[in-house]
């Protein structure tokens, strides 16, 4: 049973091989028909073996004889032209040949062929003689060229010719020819016009190279790029192209890493074009160090985009200022002249307005320093249409909002607008006592009370205090004469109940409608705590309240 399965598998394998061979037969036939023409050095007694190129090293005055093999792999008869042409390079350093015999100036003028036109039946090859006579005054160094073949267009069949208006393409096939005259080798490279370009987001370095030596050069560059913050990267072994003797090319080297965007950069090139010594180092006379400094700036489109963004932000700021000014112009206000000892919280309690609104409306910033004699505008709701019309008809009744509007049109910073409401000659800020925050009983600016504290219903009977460095919930509770749990509950503190300097807490106080004696006793209690040193907070803060108004 096992042998039967193995036999079946062998039969299937053999059938598969036969099928593949049948399928491959027409493909092999097509490959032969599409082979075209080719040229190689022929086997010669002076140069035996298989060769791909014609390579010689001879003294001046020497005559070289060799053979050329031409093969026609097409299925039709072809008329083949044969010539020896000088080597050349393209603008970017690629190897090529001159266009025709008239352009020969070097080895092409030294060479001759036994035949220059071959009539070749299908699938045949022919041999022709090559002779190279090196002049006595031939320059030392390399003399590149090539043996080239192409189909004669004049004898091409009519069926293969292009009709009028169609593009005709001629294909040339060549075998390279290198002849070297021994002597002192001179490798010299002139490097000029180093520059850079940005193409499709890629940084390219360009330079003009001229081979002033007597041998062919294949220069390469090790590139190091640096920016204002140091080295960006390195790129070793960037090939710059091929330079035949006396040739000039425009080399272009792409920076393989991400191109930098903007700034000043320095590119250091070590361009080497010689051979390495036994230490695997380039000979000093056969490399050059080039330093190229350049700037990268955004394109005009990028600059226009950023200018547009900045202009849009400028318009948005202007619109925002206009909205603020219009909002203030449409708000009913009352003037309040600050008296000594008043804080923002006290003023908010007097006018029954949230202290946050007063601070925002008057453009006040922490620590809300107020001076006696300064004027604040107290917002009292939006104007009705009738009030707006009446105010428009009576401009003398308008508040100092017009000054605010004028200042905003002149570009005055919003933070400076609050100075419009200060009394003439008053300082813009009062620093208060040096090294500590002013307490609530000083005539200087008050502490940072939590805004709107007295207006909220849940803050009635409470007094704000400012925390200083080293204060804890326990010391605040001792100062207020209550338990720490009361302070935690009133201020909704969370574990671990850490306090920071400048933080505002509320503490319970006695009813402010009490008698003068209650105030005196409270002051004595605070003084006693201060002298005993039981609480740092008590030593730094005393809460002074206004005496209640006596009823008539």
485 and 395 in a single domain? The answer is no
Q: Which residues pair with 82 in a beta bridge?
A: 149
- Is the domain of 423 the same as that of 385? yes
Average per-residue pLDDT for the chain: 75
3-state secondary structure of 105: coil
| Pairwise CA distance, residues 497 & 490, whole Å | 13
pLDDT value of residue 89: 85
Domain match, 403 and 479 both: no
Whether residue 165 lies inside any domain: the answer is no
Evaluate whether residue 314 is within a structural domain.
Answer: no
Check residue 279 and give its pLDDT.
60
Q: What is the pLDDT of residue 110?
A: 94
Query: Which residue bears the tokens 């091409």?
Result: 156
pLDDT digits (tens, 9 = 90+) for 73-117: 988 898 999 999 999 888 777 888 998 889 999 999 999 999 999
CATH code of the domain containing 252: 2.60.40.2360
Give the model confidence (pLDDT) of 178-208 as tens digits.
Answer: 899 988 888 899 999 999 999 988 999 999 9
User: Looking at the domain assignment, is residue 226 inside a domain?
Assistant: yes
What is the mean pLDDT of the segment spanning 275-283? Answer: 62
The verdict on pTM exceeding 0.85 is: no
Where does the pLDDT of residue 508 fall: very low under 50, low under 70, confident under 90, or very high at 90 and above? confident
517 and 435 in a single domain? The answer is no
Q: Using one digit for the tens of pLDDT, what is the confidence trace for 35-62?
A: 489 998 998 887 887 888 899 999 999 9
Question: What is the pLDDT, as a whole number, of residue 520?
Answer: 34
Whether residue 96 is found in the same domain as residue 73:
yes
- CA 69 to CA 63: how far, in whole Å? 20
Q: Is residue 477 located within the same domain as residue 524?
A: yes
Q: What is the CATH number of the domain that holds 536?
A: 3.10.350.10
Length in residues, the chain: 552
Cis-peptide into 496, omega within 30 deg: yes
CATH value at residue 75? 2.60.40.10
pLDDT surpasses 90 at 255: yes
Residues 253 and 334 occupy one common structural domain? no
Cα distance between residue 251 and residue 93, in whole Å: 7
Q: By percentage, how much of the chain surpasses pLDDT 90?
A: 29
Domain count, the chain: 5
In a domain, 529, yes or no: yes
Contact 420, 370 (CB under 8 A): no
For 370-432, give the DSSP string.
--TT-EEEEEEEEPPHHHHHHHHH-GGG--THHHHHHHHHTT--GGGGGGGGSPTT--S----
User: Which residues form the domain of 291?
Assistant: 189-297
Instruction: Identify whether residues 445 and 332 lie together within a single domain.
Output: yes
Q: Is 450 in the same domain as 471?
A: no
Looking at the fold, whether 405 and 518 belong to one and the same domain comes out as no
Whether the bond between 367 and the residue before it is cis, its omega within 30 degrees of 0, is yes
Residue 194 lies in a domain: yes
For residue 130, what is the enclosing H or E element?
Answer: strand 124-133
pLDDT digits (tens, 9 = 90+) for 400-414: 444 444 443 443 344
Judge whether 510 lies within some domain. yes
Distance between CA atoms of residues 440 and 310, nearest Å = 45
* Confidence label for 282 from pLDDT (cuts 50, 70 and 90): low
Lowest mean pLDDT among 90-104, 373-387, 534-548: 534-548
- List the strands of the sheet with 287-296, edge to edge: 230-239, 220-227, 263-272, 287-296
In a domain, 310, yes or no: no
Helix axes 473-480, 484-491, angle to 10 degrees: 100
Copy the structure tokens of residue 166: 């169609």
pLDDT-derived band at 12, boundaries 50, 70, 90 = low
Give residues with Cβ within 8 angstroms of 124, minimum separation 6.
71, 72
Neighbouring residues of 277: CB distance < 8 A, sequence distance ≥ 6: 283
Same domain, 290 and 335: no
d(CA 150, CA 70): 11
Residue with tokens 């056969």: 286
Decide: 97 and 85 in contact? Cβ < 8 Å. Answer: yes
Please state, in angstroms and rounded to a whole number, the distance separating the CA atoms of residues 305 and 298: 10
Same domain, 277 and 341: no
Is position 317 within any domain? no
CA 482/CA 475 separation, integer angstroms: 10
Q: How far is CA 229 from the centre of its chain?
A: 14
- Give the contacts of 300 (CB within 8 A, at least 6 positions apart): none
Strand partners, 126: 70
Distance, in Å, from the CA atom of 254 to the CA atom of 8, rounded to the nearest integer, reads: 61
d(CA 546, CA 519): 9
CA dihedral 371, 375, 381, 385 (to 10 degrees): -160
Nearest to 67 by CA among 119, 110, 112, 127: 127
pLDDT at 325 over 70: yes
The angle at the Cα of 185, spanning 180 to 190, to the nearest 5 degrees, equals: 110
């Amino acid at each position: 049973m096992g042998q039967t399965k193995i036999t079946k598998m062998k039969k299937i394998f053999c059938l598969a091989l036969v099928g593949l061979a049948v399928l491959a037969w027409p493909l092999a036939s097509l490959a032969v028909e599409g082979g075209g023409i080719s040229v190689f050095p022929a086997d010669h007694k002076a140069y035996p073996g298989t060769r791909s190129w014609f390579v010689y090293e001879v003294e001046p005055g020497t005559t070289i004889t060799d053979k050329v093999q031409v093969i026609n792999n097409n299925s039709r008869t072809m008329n083949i032209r044969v010539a020896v042409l000088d080597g050349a390079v393209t603008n970017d350093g690629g190897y090529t040949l001159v266009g025709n015999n008239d352009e020969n100036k070097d080895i092409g003028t030294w060479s001759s062929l036994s035949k220059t036109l071959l009539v070749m039946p299908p699938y045949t090859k022919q041999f022709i003689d090559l002779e190279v006579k090196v002049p006595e005054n031939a320059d030392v160094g390399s003399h590149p060229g090539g043996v080239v073949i192409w189909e004669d267009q004049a004898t091409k069949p009519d069926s293969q010719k292009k009709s009028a208006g169609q593009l005709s393409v001629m294909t040339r096939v060549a075998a390279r020819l290198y002849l070297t005259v021994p002597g002192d080798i001179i490798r010299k490279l002139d490097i000029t016009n180093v520059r850079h370009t940005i193409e499709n987001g890629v940084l390219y370095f360009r330079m003009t190279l001229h081979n002033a030596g007597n041998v062919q050069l294949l220069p390469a560059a090790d590139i190091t790029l640096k920016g204002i913050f140091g080295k960006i990267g390195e790129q070793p072994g960037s090939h710059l192209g091929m330079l035949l003797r006396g040739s000039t090319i425009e080399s272009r080297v792409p920076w393989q890493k991400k191109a930098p965007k903007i700034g000043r950069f320095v590119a250091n090139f070590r361009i080497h074009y010689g051979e390495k010594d036994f230490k695997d180092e380039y000979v000093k006379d056969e490399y050059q160090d080039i330093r190229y400094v350049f700037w990268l700036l955004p394109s005009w489109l990028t600059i226009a985009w950023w200018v547009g963004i900045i202009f849009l932000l400028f318009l948005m700021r202007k619109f925002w200022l206009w909205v603020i000014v219009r909002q203030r112009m449409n708000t009913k206000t009352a003037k309040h002249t600050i008296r000594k000892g008043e804080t923002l919280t006290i003023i908010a309690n007097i006018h029954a307005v949230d202290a946050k609104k007063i601070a925002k409306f008057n453009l006040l910033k922490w620590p809300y320093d107020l001076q006696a004699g300064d004027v604040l505008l107290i917002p009292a709701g939006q104007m009705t249409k009738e009030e707006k019309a009446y105010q428009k008809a009576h401009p003398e009744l308008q508040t100092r909002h017009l000054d605010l509007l004028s200042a905003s049109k002149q570009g005055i910073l919003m933070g400076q607008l609050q100075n419009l409401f200060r009394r003439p000659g008053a300082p813009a800020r009062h620093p208060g006592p040096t090294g500590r925050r002013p307490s609530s009983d000083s005539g200087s600016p008050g502490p940072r009370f939590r805004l709107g504290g007295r207006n909220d219903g849940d803050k009635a009977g409470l007094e704000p205090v400012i925390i200083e460095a080293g204060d804890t919930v326990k010391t605040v509770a001792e100062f207020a004469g209550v338990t720490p749990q009361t302070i935690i509950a009133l201020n909704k503190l969370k574990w671990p109940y850490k306090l920071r300097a400048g933080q505002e807490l509320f503490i319970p106080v006695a009813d402010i409608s009490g008698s003068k004696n209650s105030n005196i006793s409270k002051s004595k209690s605070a003084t006693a705590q201060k002298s005993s040193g039981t609480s740092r907070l008590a030593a730094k803060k005393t809460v002074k309240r206004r005496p209640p108004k006596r009823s008539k």
